[in-house]
């Protein structure tokens, strides 16, 4: 059983002020695998005071000192790698192969990318009679989600530590175990007391306290657009910096000359990875009218072979949804699609046969969808793909850009040049061409209601830095 009933504050494990304890549920078994204590505003106050005290000294560390610390963290992380991967499978249902090869691996990847960016960073710039220097923004409140728990934590914690900031982290209360293990890793690596602090809890209790806290200089939030708006409003009274990585409804444009079977295999596989619980999932597939029928049939046949199963099995591609609440949300949106006239190409309501226990959903593809339907506009965050026909490329780009979101886009064409021409017209922060995967040194983030600011690599440093101009006679 996992124990997440204490917070990590000022280099020590400490009891919550509230003693408000909740079960941690394994979504594959619906059984408790441990407990997590929800913190309070008082716990946040103690963590922020610790981070504020530690900032004065830590912010003056040299680049070499911070590089050495990050290298120590990497070694400590590698020693607990299997513990991290196992925790992610247990707490949020990621299949063991995904946890080992992607979920836990991204923690190492972000550390290494951050160290490379720190080594390459120019600390000063000369402009006329001015020296422009970059300094750590201060105490950072980090609020992270459950779907890629270590990825989202490390892509904030690593640049914060690299730039000389101190941290108060609130991980998801649904997936607190991997975050607790990470706190143990940082402690083992010798992160100074107060530089990193962890307070467990929910959004209304701990997230709101972090967002509004007058002694926090910057908040970095990843989660839903609805919650991101609440964070920004709470932060506004103290005019703190807010970075947001929010929702998405990414379009995947299949061009006329694309290799269709390859494009379907890549698009469907990417969509259903992590059971569709990714903010940048290609959940709207746009296909030329002339290819629509064969594309739908091909996509449905591929999806039928991606049936969910026990996440502990190395053969499983899709695990359960993370919680009962998420399962009910996905089921409600599938029903909404049916009510609005969309037609099932595969999947649908209910659990897959033989998986009555656990929050499993059928891999579902809707056909005959238009971009005004709820399932084409709202982020479902589950294994649900909608397929929309288009007449010409101008209409496809119009459909793709007709969204409140602008996180990611996907284009599959006969050539990189053809796809690049389409990518340049998409109003999104990222575009994947012909199945290209994400690059950890490239900026991650979106336009419109998908957020502001960027994470990953050198671009991920900017939100954690203040810029100072020093004029010299």
pLDDT tens digits, residue range 353-374? 999 999 999 999 999 999 999 9
Q: Please choose, from the candidates 282, 332, 423, the residue with its C-alpha nearest in 3D space to the C-alpha of residue 321.
A: 332
Active site residues: 245, 279
Distance CA 368, CA 342 (A): 5
Q: What is the structure's pLDDT at 194?
A: 98
Kindly list the distances between the CA atom of residue 308 and the CA atoms of 102, 277, 315, 345, 375, in Å, as whole numbers in the listed order: 18, 14, 10, 17, 21
Percent above pLDDT 90 for the chain = 98
Report d(CA 302, CA 55) in Å as an integer.
52
pLDDT at 416 over 90: yes
Can you give the pLDDT at residue 123?
A: 83
What is the predicted pLDDT for the residue at 18?
80
Alpha-carbon distance of 383 to 307, in angstroms, equals 10
Distant-in-sequence, close-in-space partners of 98: CB < 8 Å, separation ≥ 6: 273, 274, 319
Q: Is the pLDDT of residue 473 over 80?
A: yes
Beta bridge partners of 23: 35
Longest Cα separation, the chain: 77
What structural domains does the chain harbor?
Answer: 2-246+450-471 (3.40.605.10), 251-440 (3.40.309.10)
- pLDDT level of residue 289 (50, 70, 90 thresholds): very high
What is the pLDDT at residue 16? Answer: 85
Helices 104-120, 149-163: crossing angle, 10 deg rounding? 20
**pLDDT tens for each residue of 175-218:** 999 999 999 999 999 999 999 999 999 999 999 999 999 999 99
pLDDT digits (tens, 9 = 90+) for 267-285: 999 999 999 999 999 999 9
pLDDT at residue 461 tops 90: yes
> Which tokens go with 290?
């002339």
Give the pTM. Answer: 0.97
Residue pair 151/460 in contact (Cβ under 8 Å)? The answer is no
Q: What pLDDT sits at residue 17?
A: 81
Q: 33-83: per-residue pLDDT in tens?
A: 999 999 999 999 999 999 999 999 999 999 999 999 999 999 999 999 999
Residue 86 reports pLDDT greater than 90 = yes
Residue 19 pLDDT grade (very low, low, confident, very high; cuts 50, 70, 90): confident
Asked if 254 and 263 count as a contact pair (C-beta separation under 8 A), the reply is: yes
Average pLDDT for the chain: 97
Q: What is the per-residue pLDDT for 363?
A: 98
């Amino acid at each position: 059983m996992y124990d997440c009933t204490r917070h990590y504050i000022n280099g020590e494990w400490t009891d919550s002020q509230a003693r408000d304890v909740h079960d941690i549920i394994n979504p594959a078994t619906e059984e408790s695998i441990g407990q997590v204590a929800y913190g309070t505003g008082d716990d946040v106050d103690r963590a922020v005071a610790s981070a504020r005290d530690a900032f004065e000294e830590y912010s003056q560390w040299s680049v070499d000192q911070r590089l050495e610390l990050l290298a120590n963290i990497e070694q400590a992380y590698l020693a607990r790698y299997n513990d991290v991967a196992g925790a992610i499978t247990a707490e949020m249902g990621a299949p063991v192969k995904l946890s080992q090869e992607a979920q836990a691996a991204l923690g190492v990847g972000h550390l290494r990318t951050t160290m490379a960016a720190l080594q390459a960073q120019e600390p000063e710039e000369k402009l006329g009679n001015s020296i422009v220097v970059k300094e750590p923004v201060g105490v950072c409140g980090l609020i992270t989600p459950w779907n890629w728990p270590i990825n989202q934590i490390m892509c904030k914690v690593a640049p914060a530590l690299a730039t000389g900031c101190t941290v108060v982290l609130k991980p998801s209360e649904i997936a607190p175990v991997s975050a607790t293990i990470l706190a143990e890793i940082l402690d083992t690596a010798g992160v100074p007391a107060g530089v990193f602090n962890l307070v467990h809890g929910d959004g209304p209790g701990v997230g709101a306290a972090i967002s509004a806290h007058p002694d926090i200089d910057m908040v970095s939030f990843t989660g839903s657009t609805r919650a991101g708006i609440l964070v920004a409003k709470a932060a506004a009274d103290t005019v703190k910096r807010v970075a947001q990585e929010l929702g998405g409804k990414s379009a995947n444009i299949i061009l006329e000359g694309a290799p269709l079977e390859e494009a379907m295999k890549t698009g469907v596989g990417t969509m259903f990875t992590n059971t569709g619980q990714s903010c940048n999932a290609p959940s709207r597939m746009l296909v030329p009218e002339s290819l629509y029928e064969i594309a739908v049939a091909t996509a449905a046949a591929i999806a039928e072979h991606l049936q969910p199963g026990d996440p502990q099995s190395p053969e499983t591609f899709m695990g359960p949804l993370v919680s009962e609440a998420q399962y009910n949300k996905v089921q409600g949106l599938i029903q909404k699609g049916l009510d609005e006239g969309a037609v099932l190409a595969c999947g649908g309501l209910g659990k897959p046969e033989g998986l009555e226990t656990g929050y499993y959903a059928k891999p579902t593809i809707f056909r005959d969808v238009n971009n005004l339907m709820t399932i084409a506009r709202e982020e479902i965050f589950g294994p649900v793909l909608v397929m929309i026909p288009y007449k010409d490329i101008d209409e496809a780009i119009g459909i793709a850009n007709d969204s409140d979101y602008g996180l990611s886009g996907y284009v599959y064409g006969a050539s990189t040049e053809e796809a690049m021409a389409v990518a340049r017209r998409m109003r999104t922060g990222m575009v994947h061409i012909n199945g290209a995967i994400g690059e950890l040194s490239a900026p991650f983030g979106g336009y419109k209601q998908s957020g502001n600011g960027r994470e990953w690599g050198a671009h991920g440093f900017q939100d954690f830095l203040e810029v100072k101009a020093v004029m010299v006679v």
